[in-house]
Structure 1
Amino acid sequence: HDIAEEEQRDEFASVFNGEIDPKVLITTARNPLQICYSFIQSLLPMIPKSIYYKRSEYDIREIVKYAKRRAFSDILIVKDDRNQLTTLTHIHLPNGPTAVYRLTSFVPSDDIKDHGRRTVHIPEVILNRFTTQLGHRVGRMLGALWPHRANFEGRQAVTLHNQRDFIFFRFHRYQFNQDGSRAALQELGPRFTLKMRNLQKGTFDEDPEYEWIRKKGMGTRTSFYL
């Protein structure tokens, strides 16, 4: 059976078919530093229906239960180490999967030269170069953080571009000439880069079962997985 058929039935189909709009709970690891808050402040306006919750002392399983009861579709957990961003954990609800990424190269909008201002329109989502079966799955999982009924008048686009297993994240607005042809892209920001460490079945387990895990020595120059 082909990938297209599989996608009709996967965990993200209801978002891509426009049946549901995602609703995203964003929180931090315990004891976050300022960089986590800066990153979350950049994400919130960019992901419609995303809400920040303070982590407090809850463990992840309690957060998962809470989010399911309130019909969230996804949880994002941002972690830093000594004020450097290190990890983004993405839990898809209600039944998984869970992806854990290394998070690097965060540039907030204010640090991008001539950046534009975001509007409230739902952006178009562009998934670039997710070519393997695993890549398709990861691209769809990330893409399902946004509603799939883009408002093209808003001319905004989120691009997730996979290159050698690094997923580059960019947010732009199209600018048009008077005759209606596309003229230029104005970057809105933020920017950041993800690299998947593992993909787990279910909603974050102490003893996870992995769909895929990056092992030491897998980073050879010629082998890529997405």
Structure 2
Amino acid sequence: MIRRQARLRREYIYRKSIEDRERTILEKKQRLRSALDENKQIPSDLQDDAIPIQKTLDWDYEDFTGNTTHIDDEYKWAGVEDPKIMVTTSRDPSSKLKQFAKEVRLLFPNSQRINRGNYEIKQLVDACRSNDVTDLIIVQEHRGVPDGLVICHLPYGPTAYFNLSNVVMRHDIPDTGTMSEAYPHLIFNNFSSKLGNRVKSILKYLYPVPKEDSRRIMTFSNDDDFISFRHHVYKKVDGGKDIELEEVGPRFEMKVYQIILGTLDTVSSSDVEWVYRPYMNTAKKRKFLTNE
């Protein structure tokens, strides 16, 4: 089993390693096609390769958008099989973090929570792989306040790290009833950049496909790279003409600060897909999750 996992991992890394070359070729094709369609001069950096590239254009569909990527390998069963999620905490969790982990477990259908105990990261990941778990979620804290969320997609990654702030437990929200466990509808707002779509995919594929009559809604709204999470249920009023939202919690703000192309047990040897750096603060209006 260990040798098979290693072989599959090597095959995945190889497929990922040739993506940059294929992406460069695709970009050249698109630029050349655009120049020919608009009857413009071929860009100088494409003139030497223009004839070989033009011969390959006839083999592409007109609406050809590109080759498959490592993202297609990561989420190849999305929408076909429901995700299976394991939720746990960092070492020696406080009572508040334990309570927050219970509430996080209720946010994801088909999820289970386990006590961290003395388990190491590699033991957790191996146990999840052997039980066909698709995602491992770890909640973290600082001085009793939940402040971190790690989402590790299995078996090969990616792993996304989020900061949490303004965490409000569902029992701190007045007039909250019992939490529905129906498959929720998802609302994503303001995720328009390449990184935004990547983060959207990581979050979206944690949930199974909902039924049309589900009245549970989860909202991820991006504002200045802070993702506000809200959880509501709705009911119809006035004969079904209007709807009334009821917040059931919990609520918090998320901010992604790192994405790696690997799992938690291979952090040291995995490529970093994106990481937030201190110098990025120099442009005050710079936004990463949107194209603004």
Q: Provide the TM-score with structure 1 as the length reference.
A: 0.90
Task: Point out the structure with the larger helix share.
Answer: 2
Aligned match of 2:277: 215
- The gaps in structure 1 that reach 5 residues or longer are none
CA contact (8 A) 1:174 1:182 kept: no
Aligned equivalents of 2:239, 2:69: Cα separation in 1: 41
Amino acid at match of 2:85: V
Cα displacement (A) at 1:206: 4.0
Amino acid at match of 1:201: L
Cα displacement (A) at 1:48: 0.8
Secondary structure at 1:157's aligned position in 2? strand
CA contact (8 A) 2:225 2:287 kept: yes
CA contact (8 A) 1:119 1:154 kept: no
**Compared with structure 1, are the counterparts of its residues 23 and 155 closer, same or farther at alpha carbon in structure 2 (3 Å cutoff)?**
same
CA contact (8 A) 1:48 1:122 kept: yes
Q: Provide the TM-score with structure 2 as the length reference.
A: 0.71
Aligned equivalents of 2:155, 2:71: Cα separation in 1: 18
CA contact (8 A) 1:130 1:162 kept: yes
Amino acid at match of 1:102: N
Aligned match of 2:125: 64
Superposed CA RMSD: 2.1
- 2:229 matches 1:169: yes
> Which residue of the other structure, out of 55, 59, 63, is the alignment partner of 2:116?
55
Cα displacement (A) at 1:178: 3.8
Aligned match of 1:144: 205
Secondary structure at 1:78's aligned position in 2? strand
Greater shift in the superposed pair: 56-65 or 174-183 = 174-183
Aligned equivalents of 2:235, 2:181: Cα separation in 1: 17
Secondary structure at 2:122's aligned position in 1? helix
**Compared with structure 1, are the counterparts of its residues 19 and 45 closer, same or farther at alpha carbon in structure 2 (3 Å cutoff)?**
same
Aligned match of 1:199: 259
Q: Deviations over 1:165-212 (max 9, x none)?
A: 111111111221243233221111110111111000110234242100
* Structure of higher RCO (CA pairs closer than 8 Å, 6+ residues apart): 1
Question: Looking at CA atoms only, which structure, 1 or 2, has the larger radius of gyration?
Answer: 2
Task: Point out the structure with the larger strand share.
Answer: 1
Aligned match of 1:188: 248
* Amino-acid identity (%): 32
CA contact (8 A) 1:102 1:196 kept: yes
